[in-house]
A and B are shown apart, each in its own frame.
Chain A
């Protein structure tokens, strides 16, 4: 398929603008050469993007159990609300008095999300999850700095934490201390105690963690970190498993981010926009970033204006649609669906941890690979031929040959039964015709991309021939 720039024809255009009815204004001459933009008519553009849509697999195409990504169906009413002209036809620099409705959206969303997370203050500035982590850890850093406590140079990140956590800690200038998991998938308390001390700024934890297990020792963990003077950061990546049932604030966390685009149903996975709402307890509120339309006492700003406002509108529409009863019901069903699918798959592929899971579970294909020579990658690629998006592969790293499935609450029993049947079929196929699976997919838009070549010699920018 050609890039939109390659489809460009000089002089072709779409005349959508009415005649100018205000005096012309010449921009100051800053740019010396003309803009190299594609020239197409509306029909060309429409077909181009429709073709792109046909080449990908989205939540609207079929089952998308990409573990850790919460690819739930996004209700159309959220889109309808986000498309209201009162929200779309505004300017970031509009006088505050003219956008009171938008302020109300932000404040109401903050109120509800504080209620769900057990926090006292909230900012919507961060653009997505990792940006939220960055902002949250900066709150921790500012807190220690404000007390003159400069000896705290390390952040603890358990090995079952989300992959971005160590990167966040490093970006904020901290050294990362890894803590191993115990065999049950929870944080090893003795290993944690061994690293706690006056040099620890805090702990970053995902709960339930990346193997889909709720850490039963969470109160003990946060107490131990607080005792040594550190703060606790909650990565809300897996909030979909527990929202409305248990609150990070009650688990002992001091600050948190929530991926509004994941948990609160905004289309995601295509590069954004997202929203990483960051919440904190009262004593950290004074460090929250300044944000347009919202109170924020702190001095930092992590993004322009109010963040990705329309994502907040969608999240608020979602919350108001579900209500107080619907929010916990959604996570209950997310957990139920994951356990249902795990039980249906058992007997063929083996779960990495044989216990009740939360909203996602991990299959360990290392024995299966020894038996058949078929890897987790081969299974993932063959799933594409069966109309299903592959699960997350080779993550978390603590499980070898991992496939991680998160069905979410928006899938029906029929879909889950069908998925389990596909897994059973592939299990049998691997024993009969492993070669076929080594070469899958056979019916997709493309075969296997050259991932090694793409990583070693990335071409990230198109240049005109």
Chain B
């Protein structure tokens, strides 16, 4: 299971990368593996407000629908629209398939580094 060193992680299995004050958010390899094949994604729109710890969309697999929880509070700058037609990218390339980019970040959840996230995944295994 891949856990890139340069990213930060939430306990809810989202990853986050900050580039010039913009937070790029996706779901982890562990998350996509637990979900199984993703068949549908509900996304917010650019300009929407997201709140740390609250849902900004959801992903649906054959098993279940799961909320996507935002690691940060801020305003959605961009949405990865490719995922609407090809949600399977979340399975094949979880760290390449970013979901949203958030700007004007005001608040953030407690984030884990790669080592701590790996420990968490091992516990939830």
Residues of chain A at the chain B interface (Cβ within 8 Å): 370, 393-395, 397, 451-452, 455-456
Contacts and interface: CB of A to CB of B under 8 A. Distances in A.
Nearest to A369: B125
A370 B125 contact: yes
Contacts of B37: 452
A292 to B, nearest CB: 37
Given A452-B39, A456-B39, A397 B64 contact: yes
Given A456-B39, A456-B88, A451 B62 contact: yes
Nearest to B91: A452
B72 to A, nearest CB: 21
B63 interface: yes
The number of chain B residues touching the other chain, given as a range, is 10 to 19
Given A394-B64, A455-B62, 12 more contacts: A393-B63, A395-B64, A397-B64, A451-B62, A452-B37, A452-B39, A452-B62, A455-B39, A455-B40, A455-B60, A456-B39, A456-B88
Contacts of A394: 63-64
Interface in B73-103: 87-88
17 contacts: A370-B125, A393-B63, A394-B63, A394-B64, A395-B64, A397-B64, A451-B62, A452-B37, A452-B39, A452-B62, A455-B39, A455-B40, A455-B60, A455-B62, A456-B39, A456-B87, A456-B88
Contacts of A393: 63
A455 B59 CA distance: 13
Contacts of B62: 451-452, 455
Contacts of A395: 64
Contacts of B63: 393-394
B63 to A, nearest CB: 5
A374 to B, nearest CB: 15
A455 B36 CA distance: 13
* A370, A393, A395, A452 — most chain B CB neighbours (10 Å): A452
A397 B63 CA distance: 9
A456 B91 CA distance: 14
Nearest to B87: A456
A455 B40 CA distance: 8
A450 to B, nearest CB: 10
Nearest to A376: B63
A459 to B, nearest CB: 14
B38 to A, nearest CB: 9
Interface in B105-125: 125
A455 B39 CA distance: 6
A51 B87 CA distance: 37
Nearest to B60: A455
Interface in B52-72: 60, 62-64
A394 B60 CA distance: 13
Contacts of B39: 452, 455-456
A73 B87 CA distance: 41
Contacts of B40: 455
Contacts of B87: 456
A397 B60 CA distance: 13
Nearest to B40: A455
Contacts of A370: 125
Q: Which of B37, B62, B87, B125 has the most CB of A within 10 A?
A: B62
Of all A-B residue pairs in the complex, the 10 with the closest CB atoms, nearest first, are: A455-B39, A452-B37, A451-B62, A394-B63, A456-B39, A397-B64, A452-B62, A394-B64, A455-B62, A452-B39
Nearest to B36: A452
B61 to A, nearest CB: 8
A452 B60 CA distance: 11
A256 B60 CA distance: 29
A394 B62 CA distance: 10
Nearest to A451: B62
A397 B64 CA distance: 8
A254 B92 CA distance: 49
Contacts of B125: 370
A225 to B, nearest CB: 23
A4 B122 CA distance: 52
